[in-house]
Structure 1
């Protein structure tokens, strides 16, 4: 897609925007944030951080929550979008672990196409993999938010300056930030740009019957989908 095409596609976006790094099979709160906005911008041209949500998440096992990690390496001298995983054996390993722990989940059989989508592909780039998965999972959850990538917008600057520049470029009037950004975000820059700033407040999401107890809320959204199936949206946003 050329720059003119991207700009034309985004020029109508003048509402609420979120900008966030892609994560591996995020928890339901990540999708709650996507649901809150009109445009969600993946922010993967920033430094990669190891032992973080970029390349791992948790799922439920008989022994409690367990990390499911993509072997992305420890090199921090690269951007998230530069992380390549040439050895693809992790995909079948992850699938086997999911199948072993969720074969008795109520919606396991119905989720076979989802697992095929996640693990039967040749993608080696971490950012490409995460973004593709997040968009697909958003569709399953009935989210209609538009997606873009900060790399397509060609905005320079440091930290808050760059965020504001991206928001101005897409015509945003409101920005929803993750709560952890309170410690470093320069709030006056948003006021100067005429952009409303809000911080996402994650609610206490309702519990549901998991394959193993005790219940743990901080696991991948896959756990929710495999356990409650079509009722997953109601366990994030309540019944319509």
Structure 2
């Protein structure tokens, strides 16, 4: 069984979805410290030909809290504002008619927890793309918050009887292949290849691609079969 562990990111970029698609079980690492100005509650869209950073507002978010302890701000208008932004940016995109209802379902999900919102969103994205990856929140099962860094990752792998663990390429300095091998676990790092596709033409007629936006961007401009192909655009090292 192949496993990956990542903090929950809302409507993440395609590299995150590649990692999810590459494994059998994907653990949402939601009982670790919240990261301010990270990707847990933010991502980027294509609005008027420019990248636009959107943020889900949170209440008293702090690195002194775990992600699953952070709640959404008491702002009833943020959902409608974000949906309006998506509509304005993508209503002329080829797959808008099928992707917008999915977006509405995700953003309107009834919860005040950012961890639960992200978990639900990834379940819905998996279903839309026809992925079979099992999603589990780390706070719900492993009972090992006293462990730190690599030791905690190894413990989750052992509890899941994982034969392989895949981590984003940025973790090469954090995790040690011989240590994983001693535990009977193969360690790989995923390196995403640049995925391009037609976006809206700019005013000058040129179409300079803006990469690594939210998965919503790829979904708006491509059908499911094409995005599924994009999810395989990586190498393991």
Tell me the TM-score normalised to structure 2 length: 0.88
- Pick one of 95, 99, 106 that aligns with 2:94: 106
RMSD: 1.6
Flag as ranges the 4+ runs of structure 1 deviating above 6 A. Answer: none
Could you tell me which residue of structure 2 aligns to residue 168 of structure 1? 158
Per-residue CA deviation, residues 148-199 of structure 1 (Å, 9 max, x unaligned), is: 1211121241111111011001100110011111122244431221111111
Cα separation, partners in 2 of 1:62 and 1:173, compared to 1, 3 Å? same
Cα separation, partners in 2 of 1:121 and 1:149, compared to 1, 3 Å? closer
What secondary structure does 2:123 align onto? helix
Per-residue CA deviation, residues 3-26 of structure 1 (Å, 9 max, x unaligned), is: xxxxxxxxxxxx110011110101
Could you tell me which residue of structure 1 aligns to residue 107 of structure 2? 119
Shifted more, 44-53 versus 179-188: the winner is 179-188
Decide whether the 8 Å contact of 1:42 with 1:150 is kept in 2.
yes
Decide whether the 8 Å contact of 1:161 with 1:189 is kept in 2.
no
* Displacement of 1:140: 1.2
* Displacement of 1:78: 0.3
CA–CA separation in structure 2 for the residues paired with 1:80 and 1:51: 13
Decide whether the 8 Å contact of 1:102 with 1:211 is kept in 2.
no
In the alignment, structure 1 segments of 5+ residues that lack a partner are 1-14
Decide whether the 8 Å contact of 1:164 with 1:189 is kept in 2.
no
CA–CA separation in structure 1 for the residues paired with 2:122 and 2:79: 16
CA–CA separation in structure 2 for the residues paired with 1:149 and 1:92: 27
- Pick one of 220, 225, 232 that aligns with 2:227: 232
CA–CA separation in structure 1 for the residues paired with 2:222 and 2:116: 28
* Displacement of 1:63: 4.5
Per-residue CA deviation, residues 99-132 of structure 1 (Å, 9 max, x unaligned), is: 0111111111222320221122321100000011
Tell me the TM-score normalised to structure 1 length: 0.87
Matching of residues 1-240 of structure 1 within 5 Å = 15-72=1-58, 73-85=60-72, 86-151=74-139, 152-155=141-144, 156-205=146-195, 207-212=196-201, 213-230=207-224, 231-237=226-232
Decide whether the 8 Å contact of 2:21 with 2:231 is kept in 1.
no
Could you tell me which residue of structure 1 aligns to residue 204 of structure 2? none
In the alignment, structure 2 segments of 5+ residues that lack a partner are 202-206
Decide whether the 8 Å contact of 2:34 with 2:63 is kept in 1.
yes
What secondary structure does 1:232 align onto? helix
Larger relative strand fraction: 2
